[in-house]
Structure 1
């Protein structure tokens, strides 16, 4: 095990060297990276929105809008077909996907049904349907002279999916026109589009661009009746009353007939009127549009026509002379930016359906910079503390462990860069946590070496055996955490997935560096120094020879845990948890006073006049900062956006909006369900793995201990009132992984001792096994707590509750691996072993023999 051929040595250091080269660009600025030679890697880690600022917006196609448009289209198709076939009809109309038409002549009902077969024939859906075709409209005959056509559910789903596909390109063109860098625009599910725009300074402008369908039409204004009379009575047939975009109190009576639509536009650009110097938008039609517009203006000289955008009149100029050149201009109450935005909308084209914002997360660039600084500070302090602790604990071997830890961090950064993974604030937490947990593999190895040395082996034998026997334990312990990380990645979203990626990468690299790089370093130390004993250390030997009767306390610890679990369930029924907006819906706004401190009373007073519903205001971090939380608005997701707009408008002059999180009722229900499923699936997957690797008794014991930890963690959230959100789910799953890591180490030793000591009573064997692993348990908990405390103190307010939950989980996980996971095995009948109180342990029953002397 300690002999390394030259090719293995070369391969190990080649991996480390490649990692250094790949990670190197991350210490340079973007300008310095651009100046590097072409053969040098240029890829840097992608920073998440919470670190560099920007907007995350989840858009959902409005299903009702699709149904409305499709209903109107079917009505028009029915009207056209019946007119072409000279079939008289009456009462043609449609609403919410149901269309009715009465045929005047009973003898022509069959002919009408035959003619309308074109409407009900299946549509070739192509890639949008696995069957290749979809029947969009079903026809029935509820009365002898009446035909009923209804939109099918499959047909509506097809149109929604089609709308998402068309909208993706329109959204991409609109965002590209803003000049932003590296936006992420991708389909999510069957009816949603995810948009991430890093570094965006004005998220409201982005939402305005994405919220508008931008359906542009040119129509004539009906002057046959005063608009006020039309509003009070019934407008003339073929007309409708539309409001002005600039003044909601001003209305126009506009014909429904469209002269030219935005689909005929080839270009639109912002500009300035040469006479008035006011911002305008110039446009140009294609050949067909130019001809249609020219004919319309020739026939209506002296009459007003309306330029309509999304059923609002932008302007209604009078046609002074025919416009034959195929171009014109749109004037209105524009600012340079609004004129530019309108030009962007027209160039990008109209959306096929309305896109509603169902989830939003916006981080200002100032908060992003603060988060980076806080994360770097926490990482540096945590690293220094862990390094110092390892030096004190293991002396020279601690130096070797720290070299492996440094290589581990470099590999994590290199892999994050190569994979294009996004580093988020929880991701930094994952790195800091990895620093604490990465040491665990080294602790397992070193403690095993020391134990083998105490059992009489030579140093070389102890080192060789320590590495070989620790490998299985290291793999079992880390795979359980890896399972939790993988499930968190697939079932999580946003920054939580970043945490899962970082944690998973950290687990893989820590196993590699601890077992491969550390083993090489130790082998070189033995080769060159020929030591006779382990290096002196001050902490690692504190639990040597411990004979604590842990099983004697099991009734007390069981009673305490049961009481705490019952208290948690009682709290869930009576008090419940302080659920965050991820699970309840609502809006969270972090503000920072531009001058002086944030006045909580003044903020509450100003919010009360906005009519935004139930509001909570609290201080957050420094005296200049405050957190506004608005309860979910009843009704549509659009109500949430109204709340954000109201708060921005009220406070933007006195406060900097540092962060906005908004979760609509649709998404909050889904997140709550996904979080519950994530915890359940993680527990099931880990149960299967432990059952496969051990025995069913160990699997059940591990799950009981893990459920114990989850329940107590939930109780902590109830008692402290800490907000429970998506990051809390991540914390719970990480606690599950850490707790099982600890439990598996104890179980691995129990399993080993079951084979070694055939006659030892189970109670004594469990005590013996726990005492043997006690040094490792304590040292791992301390190193992890050191890293987490650095993150808790210096990592910033945003992830403080997340880190506190992790700290609590480490303490509870360590407790449960000793006082819950091991004692419950007594309740199960382990194979070939029963507890006999009168039986004494016979030292001769140890079946293992010391191997022959090893060599390097």
Structure 2
């Protein structure tokens, strides 16, 4: 087995832990870089708004042998505007042209009928006003605002306000990246895109709430022990739910990837792209933010509390004393093993972590001491 495969297998079995919280500045930097790229793409290229938002005309032809490329060329020549052409399953063509009024629509239909060799009356033309798209956008923004407010209130009541703030920042992070990707790739933004954006918010919160629930349980009575700081407890909680997060994300991404790459790409069903891209990018960004953004942010906010600062100071002092004692007695492990306070602290924290997850990370109590420990920590 390759080294990467061996690491993955050990991670799945819960035999190793990674210092996600301790290396949070790296993850913050990566997120800032991705977010800036998304914002720049949005500002430079802008969004390719669909006809539902910009207004225009939609032409549907009878069954024809004209290719999409040829139809797009003729439609753009007839209208003077960019055209979006889709080949439907029954052999008909759907042509969208923005910024077209009634008079211009009739003229374009006549030109298309002539180019395609069919009667103008056989081409169905529908006009879409921009006011309808504006209503959809306004309702979407209203729904997003209500959703955000409810999430913050719920998390503040169920957990605490710091977790609510971290979850809100993670949601904004995911939305910004998804919208930026749409600007960079130039996919059309339709009502389906809006539905996809609203849908990914729930997926983004799922892993975050799971980790927060475990962290809340593990950090009970945290100030009564001097073995771990809040950040280290947060990292242990994150590692205990890591495999679950990976599994649920992969399972959710597979069918969405099928829609995007096979349905929209290989099979040419372009109408699937608008919703599948938002779901794919949003799910991936949500998994990233729940692991690398939300929990480290909570740890940052909690470590600012006077109680947590005092706890961190006591933990460092105890480790320094234990290290000095171990060196003087010639056996650090023996000194630690003989400390009844260490055993009590470890039993308390291990018991809390054991209650939050029944996964592989807590399956064998005898190995729990090594699994949850952040690399570089002293016991």
Q: TM-score scaled by structure 2?
A: 0.69
Does the 8 Å contact 2:256/2:276 carry over to 1? yes
SS in 1 for 2:57: strand
1:717 matches 2:186: no
Counterpart among 629, 632, 635 of residue 96 in structure 2: 629
- Ranked by relative contact order (alpha carbons within 8 Å, sequence separation 6 or more), the top structure is 2
Change (3 A) 1:699 1:603: closer
Matching residue of 1:244: none
Correspondence for 1:550 = 20
Mark the CA change 1:666 to 1:546 in structure 2 (over 3 Å): closer, same or farther.
Answer: same
- Does residue 727 in structure 1 map to residue 192 in structure 2? yes
Q: Which residue of 1 aligns with 2:292?
A: 819
Q: Which position in structure 2 is the counterpart of 1:604?
A: 73
Q: CA deviation at 1:783?
A: 1.1
| 1:327 matched residue in structure 2 | none
How far did 1:745 drift?
0.7
Whether the aligned pair in 2 keeps the contact of 1:600 and 1:617 (CA below 8 Å) is: no
CA distance in 2, matches of 1:643, 1:601: 19
The residue number in structure 1 matching 2:247 is: 779
Pairwise CA distance, 1:671: 2.2
What is residue 616 of structure 1 aligned with on the other side?
Answer: 83
* Mapped contact 2:196–2:275 kept (Cα < 8 A): yes
Gap change, CA 1:709 and 1:660, over 3 Å in 2: farther
Are the aligned partners of 1:640 and 1:662 in contact in 2 as well (CA < 8 Å)? no
Q: How does 1:67-466 map to 2 (within 5 A)?
A: none
Does the Cα contact within 8 Å between 2:59 and 2:96 map onto a contact in 1? Answer: yes
- 2:332 matched to which residue of 1? none
* Alpha-carbon shift at residue 564 of structure 1 (Å): 2.0
Q: 1:652 to 1:680 in 2, by over 3 A?
A: farther
State the shift of 1:544 in Å. 1.4
The structure richer in strand per residue is 1
Alignment partners' CA distance in 2, 1:725 and 1:606: 21
CA distance in 1, matches of 2:123, 2:270: 13
Counterpart position of 2:308:
833
| 1:745 corresponds to 2:210 | yes
The answer to whether residue 38 in structure 2 is matched with residue 562 in structure 1 is no
Contact 2:245 2:287 survives alignment (8 Å): yes
Q: Rg larger in 1 or in 2?
A: 1
Partner of 1:653: 118
Which 5+ residue runs of structure 1 have no aligned equivalent?
Answer: 1-537, 852-856
Q: TM-score, normalised by structure 1?
A: 0.33
Aligned mate of 2:278, from 801, 805, 819: 805
Partners in 1 of 2:104 and 2:30 — Cα distance? 44
Partner Cα separation in structure 1 for residue 12 and residue 122 of structure 2: 52
For residue 336 of structure 1, what is the aligned residue in structure 2? Answer: none
Counterpart for residue 765 of structure 1: 233
d(CA) in 2 for partners of 1:640, 1:684: 44
Root-mean-square deviation over aligned CA pairs: 3.7
Deviation at 1:810, TM superposition (A): 1.2
Give, in whole Å, the separation in 2 of the partners of 1:802 and 1:660.
25
Does the CA-based 8 Å contact 1:540-1:775 persist in structure 2? Answer: no
* Mapped contact 2:71–2:85 kept (Cα < 8 A): no
Q: 1:819 to 1:630 in 2, by over 3 A?
A: same
Distance 2:125 2:343 in 1: 66
Query: Residues 340-368 of structure 1, C-alpha deviation per residue, up to 9 Å, x if partnerless?
Result: xxxxxxxxxxxxxxxxxxxxxxxxxxxxx
Residue 825 of structure 1: how far off its partner (Å)? 1.2
